[in-house]
Amino acid sequence: MSVLFALLVSLDAANARGPGLPNVMVLATGGTIAGTGSSSTTVVGYTAATVGIDTLLNAVPELKTVANVKGEQVFQIASENMNNDYWLKLAKRVNTLLAQDDVDGIVITHGTDTIEETSYFLDLVVKSKKPVVIVGAMRPSTAISADGPINLFNAVILAGSEEAVGKGVLVALNDQINAAREVTKNNTSTADTFRTPELGFLGYMQGNKPYFYRQSTRRHTADSEFDVSNLDTLPQVDIVYGYANMNRVAVDAFVAAGAKGIVHAGVGDGSLARPAVEPALDEARKKGVVIVRSSRVGNGIVARNGEAKDDEHDFVVSDTLNPQKARILLMLALTKTSDTKEIQRMFYTY
Protein backbone atom coordinates (compact mmCIF):
# COMPACT_ATOMS: atom_id res chain seq x y z
CA MET A 1 0.00 0.00 0.00
CA SER A 2 2.85 2.39 0.85
CA VAL A 3 4.43 1.75 -2.55
CA LEU A 4 1.16 2.49 -4.34
CA PHE A 5 0.68 5.64 -2.28
CA ALA A 6 4.20 6.80 -3.14
CA LEU A 7 3.54 6.15 -6.84
CA LEU A 8 0.32 8.17 -6.76
CA VAL A 9 2.08 11.05 -5.01
CA SER A 10 4.82 10.92 -7.63
CA LEU A 11 2.29 11.01 -10.47
CA ASP A 12 0.46 13.94 -8.87
CA ALA A 13 3.73 15.83 -8.55
CA ALA A 14 4.60 15.16 -12.20
CA ASN A 15 1.19 16.36 -13.36
CA ALA A 16 1.49 19.49 -11.23
CA ARG A 17 4.81 20.28 -12.89
CA GLY A 18 3.40 19.92 -16.36
CA PRO A 19 3.86 16.49 -17.93
CA GLY A 20 5.79 16.50 -21.18
CA LEU A 21 7.09 20.03 -20.75
CA PRO A 22 10.82 20.79 -20.63
CA ASN A 23 12.41 21.73 -17.31
CA VAL A 24 13.97 25.18 -17.60
CA MET A 25 15.95 26.94 -14.87
CA VAL A 26 15.95 30.75 -14.92
CA LEU A 27 19.01 32.32 -13.31
CA ALA A 28 18.61 36.01 -12.54
CA THR A 29 21.55 38.41 -12.42
CA GLY A 30 19.84 41.82 -12.54
CA GLY A 31 19.90 44.35 -15.35
CA THR A 32 17.22 46.44 -17.04
CA ILE A 33 14.88 43.47 -17.34
CA ALA A 34 14.77 43.65 -13.53
CA GLY A 35 14.71 47.46 -13.45
CA THR A 36 12.11 49.99 -12.37
CA GLY A 37 11.39 53.60 -13.29
CA SER A 38 9.62 56.44 -11.54
CA SER A 39 6.70 56.24 -13.99
CA SER A 40 5.38 54.13 -16.84
CA THR A 41 7.01 56.46 -19.35
CA THR A 42 10.48 56.35 -17.76
CA VAL A 43 12.75 54.53 -20.19
CA VAL A 44 15.89 56.57 -19.47
CA GLY A 45 17.25 57.22 -16.00
CA TYR A 46 15.56 54.19 -14.41
CA THR A 47 17.16 51.99 -11.75
CA ALA A 48 18.41 48.60 -12.91
CA ALA A 49 18.47 45.39 -10.87
CA THR A 50 15.67 46.07 -8.38
CA VAL A 51 13.15 43.32 -9.20
CA GLY A 52 13.73 39.80 -7.89
CA ILE A 53 13.41 36.53 -9.78
CA ASP A 54 10.03 35.56 -8.29
CA THR A 55 8.49 38.85 -9.41
CA LEU A 56 9.98 38.45 -12.89
CA LEU A 57 8.51 34.98 -13.29
CA ASN A 58 5.12 35.85 -11.80
CA ALA A 59 4.82 38.72 -14.29
CA VAL A 60 4.72 36.14 -17.11
CA PRO A 61 2.20 33.47 -16.01
CA GLU A 62 2.20 32.11 -19.56
CA LEU A 63 5.58 30.54 -18.81
CA LYS A 64 3.72 27.66 -17.13
CA THR A 65 2.23 26.69 -20.48
CA VAL A 66 5.59 26.18 -22.20
CA ALA A 67 7.93 24.81 -19.52
CA ASN A 68 8.33 23.71 -15.95
CA VAL A 69 10.14 26.81 -14.75
CA LYS A 70 12.13 27.36 -11.58
CA GLY A 71 14.02 30.53 -10.70
CA GLU A 72 17.13 31.40 -8.75
CA GLN A 73 18.70 34.77 -7.95
CA VAL A 74 22.43 34.26 -8.55
CA PHE A 75 23.26 37.93 -7.96
CA GLN A 76 21.60 41.28 -8.56
CA ILE A 77 23.66 43.91 -10.42
CA ALA A 78 23.55 46.38 -13.26
CA SER A 79 25.59 44.68 -15.95
CA GLU A 80 28.14 47.47 -16.29
CA ASN A 81 29.32 46.18 -12.91
CA MET A 82 29.97 42.68 -14.24
CA ASN A 83 33.41 41.32 -13.35
CA ASN A 84 35.46 38.13 -13.45
CA ASP A 85 34.27 36.98 -10.03
CA TYR A 86 30.64 37.14 -11.10
CA TRP A 87 31.47 35.27 -14.31
CA LEU A 88 33.16 32.44 -12.44
CA LYS A 89 30.27 32.16 -9.99
CA LEU A 90 27.71 32.10 -12.79
CA ALA A 91 29.63 29.61 -14.92
CA LYS A 92 30.06 27.16 -12.05
CA ARG A 93 26.37 27.35 -11.18
CA VAL A 94 25.35 26.84 -14.82
CA ASN A 95 27.57 23.78 -15.14
CA THR A 96 26.26 22.31 -11.89
CA LEU A 97 22.66 22.70 -13.03
CA LEU A 98 23.24 21.39 -16.55
CA ALA A 99 24.76 18.23 -15.10
CA GLN A 100 21.39 17.43 -13.51
CA ASP A 101 18.96 15.16 -15.34
CA ASP A 102 16.02 17.33 -14.28
CA VAL A 103 17.34 20.44 -16.05
CA ASP A 104 16.83 20.59 -19.83
CA GLY A 105 17.96 24.16 -20.40
CA ILE A 106 18.90 27.40 -18.70
CA VAL A 107 17.81 31.01 -19.18
CA ILE A 108 19.93 33.80 -17.72
CA THR A 109 18.37 37.23 -17.26
CA HIS A 110 21.05 39.88 -17.66
CA GLY A 111 21.69 43.56 -18.21
CA THR A 112 22.23 44.41 -21.87
CA ASP A 113 25.46 46.41 -21.51
CA THR A 114 27.65 43.32 -21.12
CA ILE A 115 25.41 40.53 -22.42
CA GLU A 116 27.76 39.94 -25.33
CA GLU A 117 30.71 39.44 -22.99
CA THR A 118 28.98 37.18 -20.47
CA SER A 119 27.47 35.09 -23.25
CA TYR A 120 30.84 34.57 -24.95
CA PHE A 121 32.53 33.71 -21.64
CA LEU A 122 29.87 31.06 -21.01
CA ASP A 123 30.12 29.88 -24.61
CA LEU A 124 33.74 28.99 -23.88
CA VAL A 125 33.32 27.36 -20.46
CA VAL A 126 29.88 25.69 -20.31
CA LYS A 127 30.34 21.91 -20.39
CA SER A 128 27.06 20.80 -21.93
CA LYS A 129 25.19 20.79 -25.21
CA LYS A 130 21.96 21.67 -23.41
CA PRO A 131 20.65 25.11 -24.37
CA VAL A 132 21.80 28.19 -22.47
CA VAL A 133 19.95 31.35 -23.45
CA ILE A 134 20.81 34.84 -22.20
CA VAL A 135 18.05 37.40 -22.26
CA GLY A 136 17.56 41.00 -21.25
CA ALA A 137 15.46 44.04 -21.99
CA MET A 138 15.94 47.58 -23.23
CA ARG A 139 13.06 48.97 -21.20
CA PRO A 140 12.53 48.56 -17.44
CA SER A 141 9.76 46.34 -16.15
CA THR A 142 7.59 49.35 -15.24
CA ALA A 143 7.62 50.93 -18.70
CA ILE A 144 4.81 51.06 -21.23
CA SER A 145 5.42 48.23 -23.70
CA ALA A 146 8.20 46.75 -21.57
CA ASP A 147 10.06 44.21 -23.70
CA GLY A 148 11.23 42.05 -20.81
CA PRO A 149 8.16 39.78 -20.48
CA ILE A 150 8.00 38.70 -24.15
CA ASN A 151 11.78 38.35 -24.30
CA LEU A 152 11.71 36.10 -21.22
CA PHE A 153 8.82 34.06 -22.61
CA ASN A 154 10.66 33.47 -25.88
CA ALA A 155 13.91 32.67 -24.08
CA VAL A 156 12.24 29.96 -21.99
CA ILE A 157 10.74 28.39 -25.11
CA LEU A 158 14.14 28.50 -26.81
CA ALA A 159 15.98 27.02 -23.80
CA GLY A 160 13.50 24.16 -23.66
CA SER A 161 13.60 23.39 -27.38
CA GLU A 162 15.33 20.53 -29.14
CA GLU A 163 16.30 22.93 -31.93
CA ALA A 164 18.63 24.86 -29.60
CA VAL A 165 20.57 21.80 -28.41
CA GLY A 166 24.23 21.97 -29.42
CA LYS A 167 23.97 25.51 -30.84
CA GLY A 168 26.17 27.05 -28.13
CA VAL A 169 25.16 29.89 -25.84
CA LEU A 170 22.44 31.99 -27.44
CA VAL A 171 21.33 35.59 -26.99
CA ALA A 172 17.62 36.06 -27.64
CA LEU A 173 15.85 39.42 -27.62
CA ASN A 174 13.35 41.16 -29.92
CA ASP A 175 12.28 37.83 -31.52
CA GLN A 176 15.85 37.35 -32.83
CA ILE A 177 18.38 34.62 -32.02
CA ASN A 178 22.09 35.41 -32.07
CA ALA A 179 25.23 33.40 -31.35
CA ALA A 180 27.22 34.43 -28.29
CA ARG A 181 30.48 34.65 -30.22
CA GLU A 182 29.16 37.01 -32.85
CA VAL A 183 26.47 39.19 -31.27
CA THR A 184 27.08 42.78 -30.22
CA LYS A 185 25.05 45.68 -28.87
CA ASN A 186 25.02 48.33 -31.58
CA ASN A 187 22.50 50.92 -30.40
CA THR A 188 22.34 52.66 -27.05
CA SER A 189 18.60 52.46 -26.55
CA THR A 190 16.47 50.77 -29.23
CA ALA A 191 14.85 47.37 -28.72
CA ASP A 192 16.58 45.90 -31.79
CA THR A 193 20.06 46.78 -30.52
CA PHE A 194 21.48 43.23 -30.60
CA ARG A 195 22.83 42.31 -33.99
CA THR A 196 25.41 40.15 -35.65
CA PRO A 197 26.81 42.58 -38.24
CA GLU A 198 27.52 41.05 -41.67
CA LEU A 199 27.17 37.41 -40.54
CA GLY A 200 23.54 37.82 -39.46
CA PHE A 201 21.15 36.22 -36.98
CA LEU A 202 21.05 32.50 -36.33
CA GLY A 203 17.29 32.63 -36.57
CA TYR A 204 14.03 33.99 -35.23
CA MET A 205 11.34 33.30 -32.66
CA GLN A 206 7.89 33.20 -34.24
CA GLY A 207 4.62 31.69 -33.08
CA ASN A 208 6.18 30.27 -29.90
CA LYS A 209 8.79 28.36 -31.88
CA PRO A 210 12.45 28.86 -32.80
CA TYR A 211 13.51 28.85 -36.44
CA PHE A 212 17.22 28.42 -37.16
CA TYR A 213 18.78 29.22 -40.51
CA ARG A 214 22.48 28.90 -39.70
CA GLN A 215 24.85 28.13 -36.83
CA SER A 216 28.32 29.13 -35.71
CA THR A 217 31.14 26.93 -37.01
CA ARG A 218 33.53 27.77 -34.15
CA ARG A 219 34.09 25.40 -31.23
CA HIS A 220 32.09 26.07 -28.08
CA THR A 221 30.56 24.71 -24.86
CA ALA A 222 30.94 20.91 -24.60
CA ASP A 223 33.70 20.92 -27.24
CA SER A 224 35.74 23.65 -25.55
CA GLU A 225 39.12 22.97 -23.94
CA PHE A 226 38.59 25.57 -21.22
CA ASP A 227 37.58 24.62 -17.70
CA VAL A 228 36.88 27.04 -14.85
CA SER A 229 35.70 24.48 -12.30
CA ASN A 230 38.87 24.84 -10.21
CA LEU A 231 39.55 28.52 -10.91
CA ASP A 232 39.00 31.25 -8.34
CA THR A 233 40.55 34.06 -10.38
CA LEU A 234 41.30 34.89 -14.00
CA PRO A 235 44.45 36.54 -15.41
CA GLN A 236 44.41 40.31 -15.75
CA VAL A 237 43.86 41.30 -19.37
CA ASP A 238 43.23 44.90 -20.40
CA ILE A 239 42.22 46.74 -23.57
CA VAL A 240 44.07 49.69 -25.10
CA TYR A 241 41.98 51.71 -27.56
CA GLY A 242 43.55 53.03 -30.75
CA TYR A 243 42.95 56.60 -31.93
CA ALA A 244 44.68 59.42 -33.77
CA ASN A 245 47.49 61.04 -31.77
CA MET A 246 47.46 58.24 -29.19
CA ASN A 247 50.39 57.66 -26.87
CA ARG A 248 51.91 54.81 -24.87
CA VAL A 249 50.61 55.89 -21.46
CA ALA A 250 47.83 53.28 -21.27
CA VAL A 251 50.09 50.42 -22.34
CA ASP A 252 52.73 51.31 -19.77
CA ALA A 253 50.12 51.77 -17.04
CA PHE A 254 48.53 48.39 -17.64
CA VAL A 255 51.92 46.66 -17.66
CA ALA A 256 52.86 48.40 -14.42
CA ALA A 257 49.53 47.31 -12.92
CA GLY A 258 50.30 43.65 -13.59
CA ALA A 259 48.53 42.89 -16.86
CA LYS A 260 49.29 39.42 -18.22
CA GLY A 261 47.74 40.29 -21.55
CA ILE A 262 46.80 43.38 -23.53
CA VAL A 263 44.30 43.60 -26.37
CA HIS A 264 45.07 46.50 -28.69
CA ALA A 265 41.85 47.77 -30.28
CA GLY A 266 43.57 49.24 -33.29
CA VAL A 267 42.28 51.46 -36.03
CA GLY A 268 41.40 49.85 -39.35
CA ASP A 269 42.89 46.37 -39.65
CA GLY A 270 44.27 46.59 -36.11
CA SER A 271 46.95 49.09 -37.08
CA LEU A 272 49.54 50.19 -34.51
CA ALA A 273 50.62 53.81 -34.09
CA ARG A 274 54.33 54.30 -34.83
CA PRO A 275 56.46 55.41 -33.12
CA ALA A 276 54.12 56.02 -30.17
CA VAL A 277 52.56 52.63 -29.39
CA GLU A 278 54.32 49.83 -31.25
CA PRO A 279 57.54 50.15 -29.19
CA ALA A 280 55.51 50.09 -25.97
CA LEU A 281 53.79 46.88 -27.02
CA ASP A 282 57.15 45.37 -27.99
CA GLU A 283 58.55 46.21 -24.57
CA ALA A 284 55.49 44.73 -22.90
CA ARG A 285 55.87 41.53 -24.89
CA LYS A 286 59.52 41.22 -23.84
CA LYS A 287 58.28 41.39 -20.23
CA GLY A 288 56.03 38.40 -20.89
CA VAL A 289 52.77 40.23 -21.58
CA VAL A 290 50.81 38.58 -24.41
CA ILE A 291 49.67 41.11 -27.03
CA VAL A 292 46.58 40.56 -29.18
CA ARG A 293 45.82 42.87 -32.10
CA SER A 294 42.12 43.48 -32.53
CA SER A 295 40.21 46.29 -34.24
CA ARG A 296 37.85 49.01 -33.13
CA VAL A 297 36.03 48.74 -36.48
CA GLY A 298 33.68 45.98 -35.37
CA ASN A 299 33.67 43.83 -38.50
CA GLY A 300 36.10 41.80 -40.53
CA ILE A 301 39.18 39.64 -40.00
CA VAL A 302 42.28 41.16 -38.47
CA ALA A 303 44.93 39.86 -40.86
CA ARG A 304 47.99 38.25 -39.36
CA ASN A 305 51.14 39.98 -40.62
CA GLY A 306 48.90 42.55 -42.29
CA GLU A 307 49.19 45.95 -40.63
CA ALA A 308 51.97 44.70 -38.34
CA LYS A 309 54.72 42.09 -38.55
CA ASP A 310 53.10 39.80 -36.03
CA ASP A 311 55.61 36.97 -36.46
CA GLU A 312 58.46 39.38 -35.81
CA HIS A 313 56.77 41.02 -32.81
CA ASP A 314 55.42 37.71 -31.45
CA PHE A 315 51.90 39.14 -31.39
CA VAL A 316 48.56 37.34 -31.74
CA VAL A 317 45.66 38.51 -33.92
CA SER A 318 42.02 38.33 -32.87
CA ASP A 319 40.56 36.99 -36.12
CA THR A 320 36.99 38.44 -36.15
CA LEU A 321 36.59 38.89 -32.39
CA ASN A 322 35.94 42.43 -31.26
CA PRO A 323 38.23 43.78 -28.49
CA GLN A 324 35.93 42.96 -25.58
CA LYS A 325 35.52 39.37 -26.71
CA ALA A 326 39.19 39.01 -27.58
CA ARG A 327 39.91 39.95 -23.98
CA ILE A 328 37.74 37.08 -22.74
CA LEU A 329 39.39 34.48 -24.97
CA LEU A 330 42.84 35.74 -24.03
CA MET A 331 42.02 35.49 -20.32
CA LEU A 332 40.95 31.89 -20.70
CA ALA A 333 43.85 31.07 -23.01
CA LEU A 334 46.28 32.34 -20.37
CA THR A 335 44.85 29.85 -17.87
CA LYS A 336 46.20 27.13 -20.20
CA THR A 337 49.40 28.51 -21.74
CA SER A 338 51.53 31.57 -22.45
CA ASP A 339 52.76 30.18 -25.78
CA THR A 340 51.67 32.68 -28.44
CA LYS A 341 51.49 30.03 -31.16
CA GLU A 342 49.05 28.03 -29.06
CA ILE A 343 47.08 31.14 -28.22
CA GLN A 344 46.88 32.05 -31.91
CA ARG A 345 45.52 28.56 -32.59
CA MET A 346 42.82 29.20 -30.01
CA PHE A 347 41.83 32.46 -31.68
CA TYR A 348 41.41 30.64 -34.97
CA THR A 349 39.46 27.84 -33.24
CA TYR A 350 37.03 29.76 -31.06
- pLDDT reported for residue 18: 60
Q: What is the mean pLDDT of residues 43-65?
A: 96
Q: For residue 13, what pLDDT is reported?
A: 39
Specify the pLDDT at position 268: 98
136-179 residue pLDDT tens: 999 999 999 999 999 999 999 999 999 999 999 999 999 999 99
Residue 262: phi and psi, rounded to 5, are: -135, 130
Phi then psi dihedrals of residue 135, to 5 deg: -140, 150
- Cα–Cα separations (whole angstroms), residue 113 to 81, 91, 339: 9, 19, 32
Q: Which CATH superfamily is domain 15-223 in?
A: L-asparaginase, N-terminal domain (3.40.50.1170)
Q: Does 19 score more than 90 pLDDT?
A: no
Task: State pLDDT tens for residues 262-301.
Answer: 999 999 999 999 999 999 999 999 999 999 999 999 999 9
Q: What DSSP letter does each residue of 219-278 carry, written as one string?
A: --GGG-----TT-S----EEEEE--TT--SHHHHHHHHTT-SEEEEEEBTTTB--TTTTH
Phi, psi at 75, each rounded to 5°: -160, 175
Average pLDDT on 5-11 reads 37
Beta-bridged to residue 69, according to DSSP, are 24
Q: Which residues pair with 106 in a beta bridge?
A: 25, 132
Residues labelled catalytic: 32, 112
Q: How many angstroms separate the CA atoms of 125 and 261, rounded? A: 19
Check residue 137 and give its pLDDT. 98
- Pinpoint the residues of the chain covered by CATH 3.40.50.1170: 15-223
The mean pLDDT of the chain is 94
Domain limits, CATH 3.40.50.40, in the chain = 237-349
The structure's pTM equals 0.94
Residues linked to residue 138 through DSSP beta bridges, in sequence order:
none
Q: What percent of the chain has pLDDT over 90?
A: 94
Instruction: Please give the CATH architecture assigned to the domain spanning 237-349.
Output: 3-Layer(aba) Sandwich (3.40)
Distance CA 291, CA 280 (A): 11
